[in-house]
Amino acid sequence: MRCMSLLRCLVTTRPMAVIAPIFLGTRLPSALSSVCTCLTLICFTLAPAAAQDRDPMLIYQQDGATLRGHLQFGLNAVAERNLYWDLAATTAPASGFDPDTNWLEAYIKPGISFEYKLDAGSTLYGKLSAVSSYTLGTDAFDTGNTGASTLEEAFIGLKGELANGLSYDFSLGRRELVLGTGMLIANGATSGFERGALKFGPRKAWEMSAIARLSLGNVTGTAFYLDPNELPSTDGQNELAGVDLRYDHPDGGFLGATYVDVLRSNSSYPSAAPGGVGPPTVTPGAREDTKTIGLYAKTSPMGGALANWTFTGDIAFQWNDRIDLRAWAGRVTAAYSFANMPWSPNLTLGYQTFSGDDPNTPQLERFDPLYYQGSPSAWATGSKSASTFINSNVNAVTLALRVKPTQQDTWTLRYAHIRANELNSPVQFGQATRVTINGNVVSGVTDAHLADDLFLEYSRVINRNTFLTAGVSVSFPGAGIDNVIGRQAGPWTGGFVNVVFNF
């Protein structure tokens, strides 16, 4: 039976042999138990197709109809020491926050998709999936021993071609959507907190979307409506709409523009106190009517003196006339590939910046990063610091060195020097608001240097379905953090190891 073959493959994989005793020796929460039942059912569903098809997830394919199963699951062990440079000991001593913690998180994501070719030449397609996740122990946001099972993808679409090379793709429902480089629109759902699996972040799909794409040659236009899948405890009732226009060069470069309009929102914006003295002002519902236009580009492979170089650029401008908001952000990177050296080293230097609110003006200049892709390889500002500072009122110089000793193994070393753009102005949502020795209430930092982050990551492709990732990281606090607690803060360290199976 295909189910038995699949299970035999899993238990003979080395990382699974290490993790299985830990996982099976722990009583599964009801959320994960229910999904494990779904996994068993999928295995039995796939069994009849075993003898006639190499694809283990292909359920049915005949008469223009294709039905396919999907399965992804993972386990992640995390350890953190001196979380957030132990700021809580000074700024919130009564909270009882423990800066040293370990936790285990797991998730499973079963799904099923279909395609059906219509007589007119178009294709009807769709997908249905769910996520069940759990955190055992206490995570970095002081939440643990909790999880949830939620619907992930549930959409239906129609795609095909028209005359003169014009193609279309329309869909409606819960699905993923990433635009450009992920600076503004990428992560449509929230994990962690009551849903568990904070680090994994297995949820990506928007709670509701309407997406219409038209393509002609290398040019694609996308119109969209999005409702993010937010946590029930902090649902901001956000709704977005906009358009994206993109040109993809045949050799790999691209050029595009995205426009986003926040149609509805209860989400708040903080603004600096006049002169930076006093607590920040928090305006509920300020995000509504915020508009953003972003430009993004990446060069194609070049020759001559610029051979092996790749350059990228992003810039965004944001405004909201209702609350007098004017903000901006941008990033540039330059990467060089040492193509003729062993291990194929690749070195990338970048600079990214996101405006903060100037306490000396009545206007609000704080950039809202919306729903950006927050992984270290995308738009995170630092590795550990990205858990403390969102992409607002920060800038960073970044350096990444990647080497591949083999086709299956990749080592990446990342460094980020992180600074605040505006002093005495909210960094993130107003953290570090405090009373000084002179009795003044201030917010933000009094020195621009926030932190220096180092992150070493190892990735191993064990086989076509199994992926192992491990990493260690350290964040050295800058003078801005030291000044908040009134002494030299210690470094924040941590590590993780995870394995993901994707079928």
Q: What is the pLDDT of residues 130-185, one digit of tens each?
A: 999 999 999 999 999 999 999 999 999 999 999 888 999 999 999 999 999 999 99
| Averaged pLDDT, 197-223 | 97
Better-scored residue on pLDDT, 7 or 459 = 459
Mean pLDDT computed over every residue of the chain: 88
In the chain, the percentage of residues whose pLDDT exceeds 70 is 87
Per-residue pLDDT averaged across 267-295, rounded? Answer: 93
pLDDT at 219: 98
38 pLDDT tier (thresholds 50, 70, 90): very low
Highest mean pLDDT (candidates 10-19, 194-203, 268-277) = 194-203
Topology given in CATH for the domain delimited by 2-233+240-502: Porin (2.40.160)
Mean pLDDT of 38-65: 62
Can you say how many angstroms the Cα of residue 17 is from the centroid of all Cα atoms in its chain? 29
Q: Alpha carbon of 51 to those of 17, 55, 59, 365: distances in Å?
A: 28, 10, 12, 62
What's the whole-number mean pLDDT along residues 447-461? 97
Confidence of residue 276 (pLDDT cuts 50, 70, 90): confident
Summarised one tens digit per residue, pLDDT across range 334-393 is: 999 998 899 999 999 999 999 999 999 999 999 999 999 999 999 999 999 998 899 999
β partners of residue 317: 293, 328
Q: Which of 56-70, 80-94, 413-427 has the lowest mean pLDDT?
A: 80-94
The model's pTM is 0.86
Which residues, other chains included, contact 118 with Cβ-Cβ below 8 Å and sequence gap of 6+?
64, 124, 160
Residue 442's pLDDT is 54
What is the model's pLDDT at position 269? 93
Count other C-beta atoms under 10 Å from residue 180's C-beta.
22
Q: Give the pLDDT confidence score for residue 433 in this predicted structure.
A: 52
pLDDT of residue 239 exceeding 90, the answer is: yes
Amino acid type, 310: T
Hey, which bits of 355-491 come out as E strands? 394-403, 409-419, 434-435, 441-442, 449-463, 466-477
User: Which of the pair, 426 or 347, is modelled with greater confidence?
Assistant: 347
Cα–Cα distance measured from residue 336 to residue 344, given in angstroms and rounded to the nearest whole number: 10
How distant, in Å, are the alpha carbons of 8, 19, 68, 72, 162 from that of 502? 16, 16, 14, 4, 35
Q: Among 4-18, 69-83, 427-441, 464-478, where is mean pLDDT lowest?
A: 4-18
- Residues 436 and 90: beta-carbon distance below 8 Å: no
